């Protein structure tokens, strides 16, 4: 399987497109508008139910809704953050991520749980198209060995964006 890696010139192009689309100003709550472009381009949320694991304060849920998501199911363990999510067409579940959350009806998923993604390595659960931040070089290697596709590093060599189903990604 061929790995597709976004180099720095591609990242610059995405940032430029993000500025033109207004993503920098609209989604300042996201750590990085580059994340927003990856989420939208990979998941293509229009008309879909999005499972947002690690929903934080709803910044990515808002992004998905603004791009036509039918519904966003937010999983967030931090009650203080989760209580800030007051968006239409969202359901908020306040608890740590569990594999059983993947049984919630959804079409696509975003996972960003600061190392908690390791739980997926010990599972044979079939993933729907998913984009995920992976938070250590060891986990990056282990997810690659399980068939996840590396997309790009996110600011350091310790955090990478990876996808579960490259057929659904234009990257």
Name the percent of the chain lying above pLDDT 70: 74
Against a cut of 0.75, is the pTM above it? yes
Which of 67, 44, 53 is CA-nearest to residue 112? 53
The string of pLDDT tens digits covering residues 146-165 is 888 888 776 666 677 888 86
Within-domain flag for 78: yes
Return mean pLDDT, the chain: 80
Instruction: Give strand pairing partners of 126.
Output: none
Q: CA-based diameter of the chain, in Å?
A: 41
Which is more confident, 31 or 98? 98
Enumerate residues 6+ apart whose C-beta is below 8 A from 153.
159, 160, 161
The string of pLDDT tens digits covering residues 32-67 is 567 788 889 889 999 999 999 999 999 999 999 999
Residue 69 is given by DSSP the state -
Q: Are 146 and 17 in contact (CB under 8 A)?
A: no
Rounded to whole angstroms, how far apart are CA atoms 151 and 21? 22
Domain that holds residue 146: 8-168
- CATH number, domain containing residue 133: 3.40.50.150
**Which two tokens mark 23?**
């993503």
Within-domain flag for 95: yes
Within-domain flag for 3: no
Q: How many domains is the chain built from?
A: 1
Res 11 pLDDT > 50 = no
């Amino acid at each position: 399987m061929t790995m597709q890696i976004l180099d720095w010139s591609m990242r610059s192009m995405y940032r430029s497109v993000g500025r033109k689309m207004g993503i920098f100003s609209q989604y300042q709550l996201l750590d990085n508008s580059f994340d927003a472009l990856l989420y939208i381009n990979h998941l293509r949320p229009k008309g879909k139910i999005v499972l947002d694991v690690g929903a934080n304060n709803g910044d990515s849920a808002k992004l998905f809704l603004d791009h036509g998501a039918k519904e966003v199911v937010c999983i967030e363990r931090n009650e203080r953050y989760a209580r800030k999510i007051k968006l239409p067409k969202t359901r908020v579940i306040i608890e740590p991520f569990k594999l059983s959350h993947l049984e919630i009806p959804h079409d696509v998923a975003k996972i960003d749980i600061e190392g908690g993604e390791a739980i997926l390595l010990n599972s044979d659960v079939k993933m729907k198209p998913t984009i995920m931040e992976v938070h250590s070089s060891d986990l990056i290697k282990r997810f690659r060995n399980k068939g996840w596709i590396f997309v790009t590093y996110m600011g350091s060599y310790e955090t990478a964006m990876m996808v579960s189903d490259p057929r659904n990604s234009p990257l």
